[in-house]
Structure 1
Amino acid sequence: MAAELTPRQKRRTHRAHRTYQTYRAVIGLGGPLLPVVSFLGRLPTAMCQLGTLLLVAETSGSLGTAGLVGGALAAGQTVGGPFVGRLADRHGQRRVVLAASCLNAVAVAALVAAALGHAPTAPLAALGVVAGLSVPQVGPLARTRLVALAHGADGEERTLAAVFSLEGTLDEVSFVLGPALVGVAAAVAHPAVALALASALLVVCGSAFALHPTARATAPSPSSRRAVRGRSLRGRAPRGRTRDRRTPRRTVYALGASAALQGGMFGACQAGITALTGDLGVPEQSGLVYGAMGAMSAVVGLAMASVPPSVGLPTRWRLATGAALVLSLPLLTVGSLFALYAVVVVLGCAYAPHLITLSGLTERAVPAHRLAESMAFMTSAVVGGQALALAVAGPLAEGRGPGAAFAVTVGSAALALLLALLVRPRTSDEAYRTAEPAEALAAPASPAAPADAVTSAPPATRGAATPPGSGRSG
């Protein structure tokens, strides 16, 4: 006869079953095909950075030229991400993603052709910028789409948490699998093959994501188009125009800074891992070590959906950044391959929770019709922080050893924790309620609802039907 479960085991079983049901509900929001095409559509972004470095290094024979072109690609993506997101907020995801996917595929193909043709550095860098600017931002837009679908369904905090956990996990897996595919293609054939595969995925899967029926969930209404046209993330409106929901820009910038610091942890850690494995005589292990960290981060990211809603997002932010700092300290003392594996795998437990929490805080901080731009801004901040950290930590690791690069990781984690401790994240509804009285009174309300209904709606109603003039879009 089977032994009866203890109360603790029953609670764990119930929590696991509830988490499973929540993920089933999230998959059901858009159907099983949506996460597949969104994952494959974001994979080229993870492939192009390393693929470009390897291709240009092989065709030009210069690591400096390869680094310059790779930096141009990262700079273009950092700058272009928010603009692509804003276009999606204004015109809808379908047209924007279709156009960006095709343009990005052409830009990547042109970069490959130019590199194989031994073009000078300047044209290669220019093509790198274009390839970065035109990245279709499938990851941020997929998050935005699922958030809209979740609000249109039940809008429960648990469902939203599962949305961000699933999307964070897909991001982590893509950024582990993408470089691995590039490495295999470069070893078996040529780096150009990896970039050709990335171009094909962009055209096929980027278009499939754009044409998926769920794209209608983020189609802007006429009122939201007017709101997006007159505003930016700074939360300003043209003179004489009211703000339906004010963006708390200090919160958005603080979250962006935290995302950039997370990118700094990624970049510095990558530089330190590469340097240490080289010193140990096993440079081929660097990708595996970094992949192990990403795999653990993805697993913990999936588990984030089981965290009870009673643990608020600001608390999760502080806990995640605190864990990143504490768990990164052993990097300063590692001296063997086994110790390196152990430390980075444990460190990966802090990274996905941090990024997932930042997504949740961003969703609360910005109006619904600015969400795509804001999510793309966060992703661009990670990319920019990673590129900057690589540029700083790489020479440090080369000149002073792996410990110097790992010190940049620890410093980035410390700054992220300080930011989480000092900043009180605000929501767009809070910012609206604390706006100037004249501005608040000027906001139009629905004739069928009380005038204060526009300002008193709780955050849980985001994405639900709202009065005309509220600026919300479905």
Structure 2
Amino acid sequence: MLAWSLLGRLPAAMCPIGTLLMVSQHTGSVWRASAVTGALALGQATGGPLVGRAADRRGQRRVGLAAAALNTVALLALVTASQLRAALGWQLLFAAVAGLSVPLVGPLARSRWLWLADGRAEQASAALWLDGLMDEVSFTTGPAVVGLLASLLAPAAGMLLAAALAGVCATLFALHPSAPPSIAATGGRPRPPARLLTAPYGLLLAGMALLGVAFGSIQVGVTATTAHVGHPGAAGPIYGLMGGASACAGIAMAALPARFDLPARLRAATALLLSAALLLPLVGGTLGGLAAAVGCVGLAVAPQMITMFGLVERTVPTARLGEAMAGLVSSITLAQAAGTVAAGWLVAAAGPAAPFTVTCVAAGSALLLAAATATARRYARPAAAPARRAQVRA
């Protein structure tokens, strides 16, 4: 399952930058490319919880297969519309459908790992750590692969690869025997859905959204700063440092003692995020200083994301876990788009370093939120439930 999980989640990381590059190069209009990319992001943020909820109710296999097929067709239609320079409305439509139908391999994999762990805290923690690490790898690798294919082959090459990965790897992930069965398959009767939007889950959504704002503003700030100092090509490698440092931090989390519980980890990670964010406006005027500051920010990303995904397990009903994981992804996606828009406006109004102000405000707000709400009492681990099933081969 590991291979299909890693490869199947790459399209979600590849498509935003791939769409931006493809449409801008085919039309010569950054505005049109931004509009199509925005439609993709809005569709993904809207469709994520819907796909997650359907997977929880009807089973990951059935929903995953349908989503993979529809996503593949929509991506191919978007590439074709861009190649033929079709009307903007058609490109917006296909981008929105592609976003709505993302197979959600990442969130469903986290739900699947927790289902296999069957309430065993140590196994669940290790599974979330491993899955968070795969997210960081896809987050770093996806945009880099798209940029490389666009420069060596064609602007649409990255999107075609994303469609192939969605069609093949997301399908194989859905078919893997580790997929949890639907309620009907286990002989149970559907019950009214348990409440999802509780106060603790809402706080996690807010925390993930603030992290998304930081992502979006850093991306714009790095792009604007490297262009201002005359090295626009350095933006990609410098931004990639965040993903690389984040992956290293995710690996290091395996060494943390169990007594350092999740609420305490969240508070520590957000404090580190703010400390690193404050470096950006101070030393970000040079390429070396910018690279170092962005790398420091990356050290806080994986611990924060992995911890929040771990806390979701304690705050939502098991029957809606996939939907809850997808909701966190949608939260960060929408917030990243908002952070990008706000930072872009600040670049025009106040200069290339202005977006880092947005980053600092978002990080400071995240720390205040975590310090005030991330307590062991609020996120107490529920009592272990009896085993649900016989051993499932993973």
Normalised to the residue count of structure 1, the TM-score between the two structures is 0.78
Which of 166, 181, 186 is the aligned partner of 2:130?
166
Task: State whether residues 268 and 409 of structure 1, in contact with CA within 8 Å, keep that contact through their aligned partners in structure 2.
Answer: yes
Task: State whether residues 49 and 73 of structure 1, in contact with CA within 8 Å, keep that contact through their aligned partners in structure 2.
Answer: yes
Superposition pairs for residues 92-241 of structure 1, below 5 Å? Answer: 92-151=59-118, 155-215=119-179, 217-220=180-183, 226-227=190-191, 229-231=192-194, 233-234=196-197
1:242 is aligned to none
2:312 is aligned to 362
Task: State whether residues 157 and 309 of structure 1, in contact with CA within 8 Å, keep that contact through their aligned partners in structure 2.
Answer: no
- 1 CA distance for matches of 2:56 and 2:193? 12
- 2 CA distance for matches of 1:386 and 1:193? 25
1:352 is aligned to 302
**Percent identity for Structure 1 against Structure 2:** 45
Give the 3 Å change call, closer, same or farther, for CA 118–362 of structure 1 in structure 2. same
Task: State whether residues 365 and 425 of structure 1, in contact with CA within 8 Å, keep that contact through their aligned partners in structure 2.
Answer: no
1:72 is aligned to 39
Provide structure 2 residue ranges, at least 5 long, that are not aligned to the other structure. 390-394
Task: State whether residues 194 and 317 of structure 2, in contact with CA within 8 Å, keep that contact through their aligned partners in structure 1.
Answer: no
Q: CA shift at 1:305, angstroms?
A: 2.1
- 1 CA distance for matches of 2:378 and 2:132? 23
Alignment size in residue pairs:
387
Superposition pairs for residues 33-432 of structure 1, below 5 Å? Answer: 34-151=1-118, 155-215=119-179, 217-220=180-183, 226-227=190-191, 229-231=192-194, 233-234=196-197, 249-333=198-282, 334-424=284-374
Q: Which amino acid aligns with 1:233?
A: L
- 2 CA distance for matches of 1:138 and 1:463? 27
- 2 CA distance for matches of 1:130 and 1:65? 17
Give the 3 Å change call, closer, same or farther, for CA 371–225 of structure 1 in structure 2. farther
SS of 2:156's partner is: helix
- 1 CA distance for matches of 2:167 and 2:377? 37
SS of 1:335's partner is: coil
Q: CA shift at 1:259, angstroms?
A: 0.6
- 1 CA distance for matches of 2:120 and 2:259? 13
Give the 3 Å change call, closer, same or farther, for CA 78–225 of structure 1 in structure 2. farther
2:384 is aligned to 461
Q: CA shift at 1:212, angstroms?
A: 0.6
Q: Which amino acid aligns with 1:171?
A: D
- 2 CA distance for matches of 1:428 and 1:123? 47
Instruction: Give a deviation string over 1:33-84, Cα, whole Å, max 9, x none.
Output: x111100000011111111111111111111010011001000101110110
Q: Give the stretch that moved more between structures: 96-105 or 112-121.
A: 112-121
- 2 CA distance for matches of 1:211 and 1:112? 27
User: Computing the radius of gyration over CA atoms, which structure comes out larger, 1 or 2?
Assistant: 1
- 1 CA distance for matches of 2:68 and 2:234? 33
- 1 CA distance for matches of 2:246 and 2:379? 32
Instruction: Give a deviation string over 1:191-249, Cα, whole Å, max 9, x none.
Output: 2111111111111101110011101x35436687623x544523xxxxxxxxxxxxxx1
Normalised to the residue count of structure 2, the TM-score between the two structures is 0.94
- 2 CA distance for matches of 1:386 and 1:83? 20
SS of 1:310's partner is: coil
Q: Which amino acid aligns with 2:382?
A: P
Task: State whether residues 41 and 202 of structure 1, in contact with CA within 8 Å, keep that contact through their aligned partners in structure 2.
Answer: yes
